[in-house]
Structure 1
Amino acid sequence: MRILLVLAHPLEDSFAASVAETVRRKLTANGHTVDLLDLYREGFDPRLTPSERARYFEPGYDPSEAEPFVSRLKQADGLVLVFPQWWFNFPAILKGFFDRVFAPGVAFENDPAGGRIQPRLGNIHLFWAFTTTGSPWWVVHLYMGNPVKRLLKRGIAAFCAKGLDFKLANLYDMDRASEARRKAHLARVEKLVDRI
């Protein structure tokens, strides 16, 4: 399987980078092809341009301003995201990745009559995310209603592909996590990725 592994963290020595490296190493060891897309290191511009937005609902939308990122998504069989949750949401650079790369004609088609959008990412069969959050489990789930999971699973994944293998694995209370707890999470990540 060809996996597009997307890392969204500004610090090269972040825990997210360690998670991404764990995922990359395990996938490669298991015979998968991994395309690591480090959004910060590759200089991805998350800003939707005025011309992109102006033609968003036109038939035959041209996503070429977001190349080569669009091509990399189209070539993948699976997508694995690694990112921290900030303010119970995606980092801005990852939100921009969805805005610019998950575009009409790539991830979905607009219904000209104004109905439900039609999924176009038939090549993506696996959609996983490994995240961290500074909040404890109960705040994320009971108080906030797990917004990142809802956005990824019900919003992005469900509207862009059908029959996906979806998974979200999170390290809660990250800011107070001990070294032992972080190592245990990396071991959990490796065990989960071994199933792919």
Structure 2
Amino acid sequence: MKTIVYVHPWEGSFNHAILTSITKDLNAKREKFQVIDLYKDGFNPVFTAEELKHFNRGETPYELVKEYQKKLSQATELIFIFPVWWWDLPAILKGFIDKVMLSGFAFLEDKETGALKGLLTNIEKTTVISTSTTDKEYIESEGGNAIQGVFINRTLADLGIKNEHTKWIHFSGVNLTTDEKRKQFLEEIPQQI
């Protein structure tokens, strides 16, 4: 099943238009999918000292985190939709990784070497769709590239999601481009996932 992790607070955003385009296409094809909408769900990405006690044991006191873990367990394909802010993932998505991808659920750590073994091997394909005001090439050249270099090549890989099954699609100049280019992207994006 496709599981979409959607990360934007404003329904008038281009990110929301991307989500709408993809879900309309999936509905038309009668494909099963589910959406994790972090802002709509009111997900809190911030850890408290009390929560860290649970984290270190691979546990969570939150039903929402358990629901997200259940959805991720059912997923064979992940689709992330988010804006790039300050050259990086939005904080709420980073908090999602921190709070949901727990030891025993998303990975195991070798006690001697510290090496991680990813457990999300049920995910056969991942598409990362991002938007920003700047070009993908510029993002890739700055600061080691938090999207490809860290999020895809390290974080997702450490969770068991193979890099060769992950595609990054980026829409550049979201605030500077034409409506025609936005429309074309929205029409084409369902066929690219």
TM-score (norm 1): 0.88
33-42 or 22-31: bigger deviation: 22-31
| 3-state SS of 1:81 partner | strand
Q: Give 1:30 deviation, angstroms.
A: 3.1
AA of the residue aligned to 1:62 = E
| Mapped pair 1:142 → 2:141 | yes
- Counterpart in 1 of 2:91? 92
CA contact (8 A) 2:54 2:61 kept: no
AA of the residue aligned to 1:172 = S
Report the aligned-residue RMSD. Answer: 1.8
CA–CA distance in structure 1, aligned partners of residues 161 and 126 of structure 2: 11
CA–CA distance in structure 2, aligned partners of residues 28 and 48 of structure 1: 36
| Mapped pair 1:120 → 2:83 | no
The 3 A distance-change label for structure 1 pair 171 and 34 is: same
| 3-state SS of 1:20 partner | helix
Alignment of 1:50-65 (within 5 A): 50-58=49-57, 61-65=58-62
Runs of 4+ in 1 over 6 A off after TM superposition: none
| 3-state SS of 1:122 partner | coil
- Counterpart in 1 of 2:78? 79
CA–CA distance in structure 2, aligned partners of residues 74 and 162 of structure 1: 13
Q: Gaps (5+ residues) in structure 1?
A: none
CA–CA distance in structure 2, aligned partners of residues 48 and 118 of structure 1: 24
CA–CA distance in structure 1, aligned partners of residues 51 and 103 of structure 2: 10
Identity of aligned residues (%): 26
Q: Give 1:93 deviation, angstroms.
A: 1.0
AA of the residue aligned to 1:88 = W
2-11 or 49-58: bigger deviation: 49-58
Aligned residue-pair number: 190
CA contact (8 A) 2:21 2:190 kept: yes
| CA deviations over 1:76-111 (Å, ceiling 9, x no partner) | 111111000000111111111111111111111122
Q: Gaps (5+ residues) in structure 2?
A: none
Q: Give 1:55 deviation, angstroms.
A: 4.3
| 3-state SS of 2:127 partner | strand
| CA deviations over 1:104-123 (Å, ceiling 9, x no partner) | 11111122224211111122
TM-score (norm 2): 0.89
| 3-state SS of 1:127 partner | strand
